[in-house]
Amino acid sequence: MKMVHSKQCPAGVTNLRLKFPGEDSLVFKDLSFSVQRGEKVLLLGPSGCGKSTLLQVLSGIIPNSIELPMKADQIELPESWGFVFQDPDTQFCMTYADEELAFVLENLQVPRDEMAPLIEEALKRVDLQLNTSHSPINEMSQGMKQRLALASVLLLEPDVLFLDEPSALLDPDGTEQIWSSIKQAAADKTVIIVEHKIDLIADWVDRVVLFSDNGIIIAEGPPAAIFADYQEELKRYGIWYPGVWKEYLELNSFRSMMHNRKPAGSSNKIRLKDFTGFRGNTPKIQAECAEVKSGDWITITGENGTGKSTLLLSLMQLLRTEGIYEVNGEPVIQKKKKRPLPKGLSLVFQNPELQFVTNSIAEELTVSLHGMPKDQADMYAEELMHLFNLPDSAGRHPYQLSTGQKRRLSVATALTPETDIVLLDEPTFGQDARNTFAILEKLEQLRTEGVTILMVTHDMEIVEHFATSVWTVADGIVHTDSAGGGRNARMVHA
Amino acid sequence: MLAWFTPERKTWLFQVNPALKFVVFFALLLITLFNQNFPFAVWQAVFYGMLFYLFSGYSIRKLALLSIPLLISFLSSALTLIMFGKGDTVLWQWYLIKISEESIQHGLLLGSKSLSFGFVGFTFLLTIQPVLFFYAMMQQFRMPSKYAYSFIASFRLIPAVTEELQIRRNALKVRNIQFSRGVKGVYERLQMYTVPLFAESIRRAQRIAVAMEAKQYQMGAARTYYYTTHYSRMDTVFVIVMITVIATALSLAFI
């Protein structure tokens, strides 16, 4: 394998072959790819097609840090490069922002006296405003963390910037922040991006490269041309290309689903009055007066850290609560310790893996069905697997599913015959377009079958098109908006 | 939680090089461990107690709180030996309990030793900043940077793991998982918690390692230091004080 540094082409590979150990098929078979100096390239493709792997090969992370069997006729590695990863929580080894930036400078053997001004400058370059550079990273929002990751990478003075889905785990605000920082700081650099949420960068990149399921480049060219000519593929791969919502809303299947949509009923499912949820002894969430009707789909929006998740935990009695709280007309027993779960309610957390308790999909769906005869439980599980498009091999371990399947399974596990109210914490977060629409359609189907839904989300499109009613949470206070519909929600957010 | 570990005032012990402090304290603990002389052990405990209560820089309330585990370890180690230890000069006997002069002495010896361990350990932990300690270990004692940074990075992971534990506990409750009673239940719990938490932690650790190397960290490569640590006059003072402490304890015990 020949490794070269070339002035013209800062990163590239010729006839790359690579495979993951234990798998039969190659990830790439004779793939060639290169970039021009200063070019901004966006790699698109279905999840699992090897885009991220390619970034790691082009930067040298594979095979220098991660050893994989690979060969290539020629590889051009950039002389200096920076890499921003997807997960804001696994990019730092230090506790404070300045220490993390200094870690990079230490690696580069920059003398101590020159560090402080460089740190300040790096923070300025990504527009990260902190009271002091010695701020704890744990207290930052996810968007700020990604900016810090970018700042630390800029200290390497990279020729080439590799971005591996830097906004996948960010809310809309964070997404906007990180891309504006990237555009500002990387204007003169070569940038190679892997990303599914491409609204904000579609017209910034020079070239789009489209991959197929088996790691073959099926098209490349200027973004406008690709978006026009390959819509079918983009849709199939679940990419959030510009206008994906608009097209979805015009689909016949969506229209027929929403045509004569069953409105929420009139009977009360949940009633809250002067309801307070505590963490320790501190009140963290308060609802003065709120009602949920049967068949409601309530979206709960609000900024990070305002108490949306706390509200769900309080309703589920996983936190101590006070005040009037009725489910199906019956007061919920609110105790200080050993709180029983309210009947009929179930909660789906964000991380699916932390909710799985068994070694197979089928068991996962039957384990909570205490007291149901076995054959009946198996039938019930089969129905759910069908409803949520889960793979037929019921014996598969839940960890072996794809991210979208894991998420759908975690929603399915919350459904027992007694469940008629489901609480969901950002069920579509970090999902591609296809999975998002799939989850929303399943939820709508459940709703028509009589399940009431309360769902935390940041996605205003979901709020507008699926919610029957909108709650917003600000500073630990729940504001209800019984008039319903997205328009009001938009106004609240404006 | 980390906020709890901010001292009320920074005493002279804070100015001592943390790596040197570690080595000296480690030596003190070795002396404590191998010593069999009763008065010497007691005097050591007294002096280390003075170090802990007077010079750690923490408020009386916090020191009192930290004294509880020390007291428990003193009582448990001393009492077991006093009541069940061997000895010929029996003072009092009741069923299995046999208190003799020798057992009292052995018990108090062991109790003083465990007190010394507690005082020295707490004094060290209360008067260092972990990050500075590892920076000093790298600079003054040439600890390989990969060990130092793996310890530092693991501090960052503690809050993430505790949060995950909490989520897992809630998730198991929501999933209505009931555990068996007794030993089998303990095993079931262990399995239910460790598997997903380990899977998550291993993945996270691997990602952080890759991210560190992507930031041009190289094992064994020369590096500069953001926090420079060095020896100062206070280190000489510290070593002299510690030698004096041991010498005084020795002379009080043997003369």
pLDDT of residue B21: 96
pLDDT of residue A484: 46
Q: Residue A4 — very low, low, confident or very high, per pLDDT cuts 50/70/90?
A: low
Q: In terms of CA atoms, which chain B residue is nearest residue A352? A: B171
Alpha-carbon span A150 to A124, nearest angstrom: 11
pLDDT in tens, A210-267: 999 888 999 999 999 999 899 889 988 888 888 889 999 999 999 999 988 888 888 8
pLDDT of residue B39: 94
- What mean pLDDT comes out for the span B233-240? 96
Assess contact for A167 and A178: CB atoms under 8 A: yes
Torsion-angle region of residue A242: left (phi > 0), alpha (psi -120 to 50) or beta? beta
Residue A486 has pLDDT above 50, yes or no: no
Residue B166 has pLDDT above 80, yes or no: yes
**406-435 in chain A: CB under 8 A from chain B:** 413-414
Residue A494 has pLDDT above 80, yes or no: no
pLDDT of residue A7: 63
Among A405, A437, A104, which residue's Cα sits nearest to residue A257?
Answer: A437
- Shortest Cα distance from A489 to chain B (angstroms)? 30
pLDDT of residue A242: 84
Which residues of chain B neighbour A92 with C-beta distances below 8 Å? 156, 208, 211
Report yes or no: B177 at the A interface, CB cutoff 8 Å. Answer: yes
Residue B249 has pLDDT above 80, yes or no: yes
Which residues of chain B neighbour A66 with C-beta distances below 8 Å? 210
pLDDT of residue A488: 40
- Per-residue three-class SS string for chain A: CEEECCCCCCEEEEEEEECCCCCCCCCEEEEEEEECCCCEEEEECCCCCCHHHHHHHHHCHHHHCCCCCEECCEEECCCCEEEECCCHHHCCCCCEHHHHHHHHHHHCCCCHHHHHHHHHHHHHHCCCCCCCCCCEHHHCCHHHHHHHHHHHHHCCCCCEEEEECCCCCCCHHHHHHHHHHHHHHCCCCEEEEECCECCCCCCCCCEEEEECCCCCEEEEECHHHHHHHCHHHHHHCCCECCCHHHHHHHCHHHHHHHCCCCCCCCCEEEEEEEEEEEECCEEEEEEEEEEEECCCEEEEECCCCCCHHHHHHHHCCCCEEEEEEEECCEECCCCCCCCCCCCCEEEECCCHHHHCCCCCHHHHHHCCCCCCCHHHHHHHHHHHHHHCCCCCCCCCCHHHCCHHHHHHHHHHHCCCCCCCEEEEECCCCCCCHHHHHHHHHHHHHHHHCCCEEEEECCCHHHHHHHCCEEEEEECCEEEEECCCCHHHHHHHHC
Report yes or no: B202 at the A interface, CB cutoff 8 Å. Answer: no
Binary contact (B224, A106; C-beta < 8 A): yes
Residue A489 has pLDDT above 80, yes or no: no
- What mean pLDDT comes out for the span B224-245? 95
Residue B93, helix vs strand vs coil: strand
Report yes or no: A65 at the B interface, CB cutoff 8 Å. Answer: yes
Residue B171 has pLDDT above 70, yes or no: yes
**75-114 in chain B: CB under 8 A from chain A:** none
Q: Residue B206 — very low, low, confident or very high, per pLDDT cuts 50/70/90?
A: very high
Which of A93, A112, A341 is the closest to B156 by Cβ? A93
Report yes or no: B176 at the A interface, CB cutoff 8 Å. Answer: yes
CA angle A125, A130, A132 (to 5 degrees): 110
**73-102 in chain A: CB under 8 A from chain B:** 82-83, 85, 87, 89-95, 98-99, 102
* ipTM surpasses cut 0.90: no
Binary contact (A104, B216; C-beta < 8 A): yes
Most B-contacting residue of A163, A357, A424 (CB-CB within 10 A), to test interface? A357
pLDDT in tens, A347-374: 999 888 889 998 889 889 988 887 788 8
Residue B157 has pLDDT above 90, yes or no: no
Q: Residue A326 — very low, low, confident or very high, per pLDDT cuts 50/70/90?
A: very high
pLDDT of residue A5: 65
Report yes or no: B36 at the A interface, CB cutoff 8 Å. Answer: no
Residue B178, helix vs strand vs coil: coil
Which of B159, B224, B225 is the closest to A138 by Cβ? B159
Report yes or no: B210 at the A interface, CB cutoff 8 Å. Answer: yes
Which residues, in sequence order, are CB contacts of B232 under 8 Å at separation 6+? B15, B17
Report yes or no: B207 at the A interface, CB cutoff 8 Å. Answer: yes
Torsion-angle region of residue A293: left (phi > 0), alpha (psi -120 to 50) or beta? beta
- What's chain A's average pLDDT? 89
- What mean pLDDT comes out for the span B225-250? 95
pLDDT in tens, B11-43: 999 999 999 999 999 999 999 999 999 999 999
Which of A103, A138, A354 is the closest to B168 by Cβ? A354
Report yes or no: A117 at the B interface, CB cutoff 8 Å. Answer: no
Which of B167, B176, B222 is the closest to A109 by Cβ? B222
Alpha-carbon span A48 to A214, nearest angstrom: 9
Q: For the whole prediction, is pTM greater than 0.90?
A: no
Assess contact for B128 and B18: CB atoms under 8 A: yes
pLDDT of residue A485: 45
Q: How many helices (H) and strands (E) does chain B have?
A: 8, 2
Residue A294 has pLDDT above 70, yes or no: yes
pLDDT in tens, A441-485: 989 999 998 899 999 999 999 999 999 999 999 999 999 875 444
pLDDT in tens, B51-103: 999 999 999 999 999 999 999 999 999 999 998 888 888 888 888 888 888 89
Residue A1 has pLDDT above 70, yes or no: no
Binary contact (A93, B199; C-beta < 8 A): no
Binary contact (B208, A93; C-beta < 8 A): yes
- What mean pLDDT comes out for the span B104-119? 94
